[in-house]
Amino acid sequence: MIRFAPLPAGLPATVPFIGPETLERRRGAPFAARLGANESAFGPSPLAARAMREAVGQVWKYGDAPSHDLTQALAAHHRIAPANLMIGEGIDGLLGNLVRLMVAPGDAVVTSDGAYPTFNYHVAGFGGVLHKVPYRDDAEDPQALLDRAHQVGARLVYLANPDNPMGSWHEGGVITDMLDRLPDDCLLVLDEAYAEFAPADAVPRIAADDPRVIRMRTFSKAYGLAGARIGYAIGAPELIAGFDRIRNHFGVNRIAQAGALAALADQGWLAHVVAEVAAARDRISHIGALNGLTALPSATNFVALNTHRDGKYARALIGALEAEGVFARMPGVAPLDRCIRISCGPVTELDVLEDALPRALDRLSPA
């Protein structure tokens, strides 16, 4: 028999998400509208696509281990030092390395109940002890996070701003105030995956050298490179240098580095995508309203639609949409799970949603 080490042996045999490809194989047909994974169906910058095609011929080489050119470009873009940056395999990969670096078995980690489950997956995988607080008014609750962090002596506190899965956000001043009230020896993990879509006042002014926080950014959302798996962390040099002790040094591939570098240089395409997302949010809100669903305010590339029912109903609606060829997702815990979550997409896919949603709702109506 295969014998796992004690820690993984005690973990459930689950993954944080079931991907749309798996669902398509189960249903035996592709989705007509892929609106569940918060990808950017508007695609990457044409310059990024060209750079990646040109890099294919060099793929026999390992990627540059320190991602030097991309690090330098990001440093110039954010007006910080290269020593404040670590490139990684998306925020997911960076979160895993951060937990491995900072959390010993039994250490307390605080997050929100219903927040990004992949972070929880890493904490469990490295033996940390998760402590969760509820959302408040469909947003993560900074005061509750701080209170629990002090109660349990947390090593890490996780907060996404803007938030997934609800799309809510806090002003930057709320985040900087949290830093002043963290417990000693506690690090705020600030997930800013959706920062490019957020209002300017939602992005806090924090010095890159501040040792109380690490900020996570990604090329998966606004830059349209989810499949390339590339993101970055901003933090104090001593913390950033620690990643080199445990990371996969060749984990960021050469093609992804080329694509991210070109995408960063094409800020015009980024502005185009942000405008398309804003229009799509309005369209999703309108489609929801036509069908008795209420859109929650969103600073992301998705919209949470309130079904005004419970999680059982929302889960059935997700299934009904799947049967109609629409891939969507929903929050995992009450009361957030009264909502379904629709990613922004092109007009053609939103047309599919507008056509399919009434039929999906009819499937749930009593005969």
How much is the average pLDDT of 182-202?
Answer: 97
pLDDT at 15: 75
Token pair, residue 294, equals: 């209420």
In order of start, what are the domains of the chain with their CATH numbers? 17-43+268-364 (3.90.1150.10), 46-265 (3.40.640.10)
Is 80 strand, coil or helix? Answer: coil
Contact (Cβ atoms closer than 8 angstroms) between residue 146 and residue 178? yes
Contact (Cβ atoms closer than 8 angstroms) between residue 352 and residue 343? no
pLDDT at 221: 98
Which pLDDT tens digit goes with each residue over 209-226? 999 999 999 999 999 999
Query: What percent of the chain stands above pLDDT 90?
Result: 96
Which pLDDT tens digit goes with each residue over 242-280? 999 999 999 999 999 999 999 999 999 999 999 999 999
HSE-CB of 1 using CA atoms within 13 angstroms = 4
pTM: 0.96
pLDDT at 201: 95
Token pair, residue 184, equals: 């000693």
How many C-beta atoms lie closer than 10 Å to residue 45's C-beta? 23
Token pair, residue 183, equals: 């417990």
Contact (Cβ atoms closer than 8 angstroms) between residue 162 and residue 169? yes
At residue 13, does pLDDT exceed 90? no
* DSSP assigned state of 345: -
Pairing of strands 33-34, 129-133: unpaired
Which pLDDT tens digit goes with each residue over 140-179? 999 999 999 999 999 999 999 999 999 999 999 999 999 9
Which pLDDT tens digit goes with each residue over 106-140? 999 999 999 999 999 999 999 999 999 999 999 99
pLDDT at 367: 44
